[in-house]
Amino acid sequence: MTFTSFLLKTVETLTPFTTLTSLSAKLTDVPMGKFTQFLIKNFIKTFNINLDEVADTDITSYKTFNDFFIRKLKPELRPIDKECIAVCPTDGTIGQAGTIKADRLIQAKGLDYSLKALIGGSEQDTKIYENGKFACIYLSPANYHRIHMPIDGKLIKTIHIPGKLFPVGKKNISNMPDLYTANERLVCFFETSLGILCVVMVGAALVGSIHTSWSGTIDRKVGLDIRNYESDDIRYSRGDEIGYFKYGSTVITLWPENGGNVAKDLQENFPVKMGRSMIV
């Protein structure tokens, strides 16, 4: 066991998730000189990070742990599939993907959860995705953590929903009902050629923050924070970066009915990379 895996396991065992996340957010954004380099090197070893993919391979250039965690990749290594309708927004592993039925999405075998609760409780927003499609991608600590636009679109609204910060690994997904509707999340709505695309960025234990390209780091507040952007004309092309997580988490995409089909190989536990086909 490396120092990094030992430290994470020990702190997670002894510390409540919200306290742990707050502590993690502070420590990982602090320049600590050689200790930062030590943590990064151990992180690379623990999670078998492929440095050949990283745009800047000089470890000493990362002044904080999070500088490395949100590292950029060489752009040619994530080509955008031009033959599909929409692409995967992140690297990660498919949790579930399929059709939204009777306001329910599949979380894991034997567990489902409410679409309405996931996106903030609005009946009007929920109706958009009746009989539509969804895809859930889990980002492990080892994954590239920047989030990209699946299809050309215009940002029209976001809803920040405060919540818990439970881990979103396979154990909790398989055993904890309503996990995604319990955790903090940012729900983003985009106007696209297929209708209104919804990208849900789900927080989790150790996620120091959710950051967006249009408004920066999300402030954790009490109560729903609804922001309308329709008049701001904020547009993104397919493949453009729209945000990132500081540590592992989950991205859920929602598509209206008749907005295409989820690619057939996007099955549970299937690894994906940003830019590959998602909606065909």
- Predicted confidence (pLDDT) per residue in 241-277, tens digit: 999 988 778 999 999 999 999 999 999 999 999 999 9
Catalytic residue among 145, 148, 160, 211: 148
Binned at pLDDT 50, 70 and 90, residue 166 comes out as confident
The whole-number pLDDT of residue 18 equals 46
Q: How far, in whole angstroms, is CA 3 from its chain's centroid? A: 26
Do the Cβ atoms of 99 and 257 come closer than 8 Å? no
Examine the residue annotation and report whether 152 is marked as an active-site residue of this protein: no
Lowest pLDDT segment from 69-73, 203-207, 221-225, 253-257? 203-207
The whole-number pLDDT of residue 85 equals 96
Catalytic residue among 24, 91, 209, 211: 91
- Predicted confidence (pLDDT) per residue in 73-82, tens digit: 999 999 999 9
Examine the residue annotation and report whether 249 is marked as an active-site residue of this protein: yes
What does pTM read for this prediction? 0.88
The whole-number pLDDT of residue 2 equals 59
DSSP 68-126: HHT--B-GGGS---SSSSEE-SSSEEEEEEEE-BTTEEEEETTEEEEHHHHTTS-HHHH
Examine the residue annotation and report whether 225 is marked as an active-site residue of this protein: no
Catalytic residue among 24, 145, 209, 249: 249
Measured CA to CA, the distance from residue 165 to residue 167 in angstroms comes to 7
Q: Where are the alpha helices (DSSP H) in the chain?
A: 3-14, 17-27, 34-46, 65-69, 115-118, 123-127, 170-175, 179-182
